[in-house]
Amino acid sequence: MKKLVILGAGTAGTMMANHLQHKLDSSSWEINIIDHRQEHYYQPGFLFLPFRIYEPEDIIKTIREFIPEGVNLINDKADKIDTEGKKVLMQNGDVIHYDILIIATGCNIAPEEVDGMNGKEWGKSVFDFYTFSGALSLRNKLDEWEGGKLVIHITEMPIKCPVAPLEFAFLADSYFKHKNMRDKVEITYVTPLSGAFTKPRATATLGNLLEEKNISQINDFGIKKVDNESKKIIDYEGREVSFDLLVTIPTNKGDALIERSGLGDELNYVPTNKTTLQSLNNPDIFVLGDATNIPASKAGSVTHFEAEILTENIVRFINNEPLKEEFDGHANCFIETGDGKALLIDFNYTHEPVEGAFPFPGVGPLRLMKESRINHMGKLAFRWIYWNMLLKGNHIPFVSTAMQTEGKHF
Amino acid sequence: MQKVISGKTINVNDEGYLTDLTQWDKSLAQAIAQEEGIGELTPKHWDIIHYLQEQFKQEIPLSIRKISKSGVVNIEEFYALFPQGPLKKASKIAGIPKPVSCI
């Protein structure tokens, strides 16, 4: 019996377990998935939690309910990967051998990377919303906050879901308007990038939205430290931004296990072939989702497209066939813009987001790069799609794995 | 699009980054540095420029963090040498594309 081991049962690992359970012959392949956690969070919901658009019960289910029958869930903590011996060493001393390993250990926030970020104001006036606990304590803070300077800040790229901080800014504007206190809140968006987003045309559109919503923007800000006494963030060139409430996206890093195993780059991301998803250093290791170093967005939609291609490549690898070099960096994201509207972007390694109709060229019904209510409905419907289709490895109707160029205005 | 700088015609994108590294040379780099307000390039500047070009040729994605851990320059110095967006400016002068560390 040969063994395939998946490390991590988040979005990426769970999708792979579901795909492979269908594809691999159960008489010759045993599939194991390792994760010490009990809960599976719908991570896009962390954005909505602080504003009470979602409640905790909307976004938490168990890991176990999404692992298909025939896949063995090992509910313990992995300590290290031994690539020479082809085994995963568990914290409890168990050793799990593999013939093929899939790394899906994701990424986490690392506020300790910036001087003072997790200092005495952490959880009091400095918050993150990239973790369940962070989003929840921010919600409690916002419930009672009486206004002042709100600073939304990105520490450094890459981060999981690069549009989330912008969405947070738009939703904050909308939230304070509905609470009739927008005039008491000054919102500033501080980014290490030179504009609102990473791709030129989307940057223009999103930058205009920030301006329309009276959110001021500070670009090219390379943070050096958070001063907990004076409540300021300070950059390497000495620029200072004061805050009463700082909502920051700390540095994102791959799992510490990757570092312990000596498999990561300077941010613990695993060097990965960007078209085949095979590890660059170990042919029997494949990597997907936020754990890779590929130049694609760290986002669930990207992982979904990756999982479809990786499944094919695992089968090809088993059959000694050449791998398909097909992953194109496809990302498809709804961006909440507040007041019940959203816009949609669709892009890949080579094509930046542009205007057009989606998913049917010329027809829609969704419009790319334009705010609309139907896009917002799409974003809300996505939670159902995530739990009921995406995790189970079902193909999303009409949305192709490779990005379509038809119907787009390049 | 094309641009004439220091007596040479070069191909650049709409943000002014070279699209063909083979057109790059040291006098061109110095001319771009003047345009970007960096002034006279020092040996330390050149170390960084050569490091960036090496990384680019090996298709290694660049970030400020990576450079500050490379041993070539520390983060404070990097900001002091190329103020206001050091990685962007240094990449432009080095004739390589704007870093896509930000997706």
Please, which pLDDT band fits residue B102 given cuts at 50, 70 and 90? very low
> Is residue A215 scored above 80 in pLDDT?
yes
Query: Residue A8 — very low, low, confident or very high, per pLDDT cuts 50/70/90?
Result: very high
- Could you tell me if B59 lies within 8 Å of chain A, comparing CB atoms? no
What proportion of chain A, given as a percentage, has pLDDT over 70? Answer: 100
CATH number assigned to the domain with residue range A2-106+255-318, chosen from the 4 options 3.40.50.800, 1.10.357.10, 3.40.47.10, 3.50.50.60: 3.50.50.60
* B36-48 pLDDT per residue, tens: 999 999 999 999 9
pLDDT exceeds 80 at position B100: no
The tens digit of pLDDT for each residue in A116-168 reads 999 999 999 999 999 999 999 999 999 999 999 999 999 999 999 999 999 99
The residue-averaged pLDDT of A28-33 equals 98
Assign domain A109-251 to its CATH architecture.
3-Layer(bba) Sandwich (3.50)
The answer to whether A2-106+255-318 and A109-251 have equal CATH topology is: yes
**pLDDT tens digits along A221-262:** 999 999 999 999 999 989 999 999 999 999 999 999 999 999
Best mutation site among B13, B82, B102 for testing chain A: the one with the most A CBs within 10 Å? B102
What residues of A are in the B interface, CB distance below 8 Å?
156-158, 162, 192-194, 198, 200, 220, 222, 236-237, 251, 265-267, 293, 295-298
B72 touches chain A (CB under 8 A): no
Give domain status of residue B99, yes or no.
Answer: no
Domain that holds residue B14: 2-94
Shortest Cα distance, chain B CAs vs residue A189, angstroms: 16
* Domain boundaries of chain A, sorted by first residue: 2-106+255-318, 109-251, 333-390
Write down how long chain A is: 410
Active site residues per annotation of B:
102
The chain-wide mean pLDDT, for chain A, equals: 95
B10's enclosing H/E stretch is: strand B8-11
Res A359 pLDDT > 50 = yes
Q: How far apart are CA A112 and CA A116, in angstroms?
A: 8
Three state DSSP letters for chain A:
CEEEEEECCCHHHHHHHHHHHHHCCCCCEEEEEECCCCEEECHHHHHCHHHCCCCHHHHEEECHHHCCCCEEEECCCEEEEECCCCEEEECCCCEEECCEEEECCCEEECHHHCECCCCCCECCCEECCCCHHHHHHHHHHHHHCCCEEEEEEECCCCCECCCHHHHHHHHHHHHHHHCCCHHHEEEEEECCCCCCCCCHHHHHHHHHHHHHCCCEEECCCCEEEEECCCCEEEECCCCEEECCEEEEECCEEECHHHHHCCCCCCCCCECECCCCCEECCCCCEEECHHHECCCCCECHHHHHHHHHHHHHHHHHHHCCCCCCCCCCCCEEEEEEEECCEEEEEEECCCCCCCCEEEEECCCEEEEECCCEHHHHHHHHHHHHHHHHHHCCCCCCCCCCCCCCCCCECC
pLDDT, tens digit, for every residue of A36-69? 999 999 999 999 999 999 999 999 999 999 999 9
ipTM of the modeled complex: 0.81
Residue B81 lies in a domain: yes
The reported pLDDT for the residue numbered A410 is 81
The answer to the question of residue B77 being in a domain is yes
The alpha-carbon gap from A236 to the nearest alpha carbon of chain B, in Å, equals: 6
Report how many Cβ contacts below 8 Å link chain A to chain B. Answer: 50
- Look over chain B and give the mean of its residue pLDDT values, rounded to a whole number: 89
Question: What are the residues whose beta carbons fall under 8 Å from the beta carbon of A35, sequence distance 6 or more?
Answer: A8, A9, A10, A13, A63, A73, A74, A75
| Residues of chain A neighbouring B69 (CB-CB closer than 8 A) | 266
Q: Is residue B90 part of a domain?
A: yes
Residue B35 lies in a domain: yes
Q: Is residue B27 part of a domain?
A: yes
Contacts of A265 in chain B (CB under 8 A): 66
How many structural domains is chain B composed of?
A: 1
Of residues A236, A265, A296, nearest to B79 (C-beta): A236
Q: What is the pLDDT of residues A315-328, one digit of tens each?
A: 999 999 999 999 99
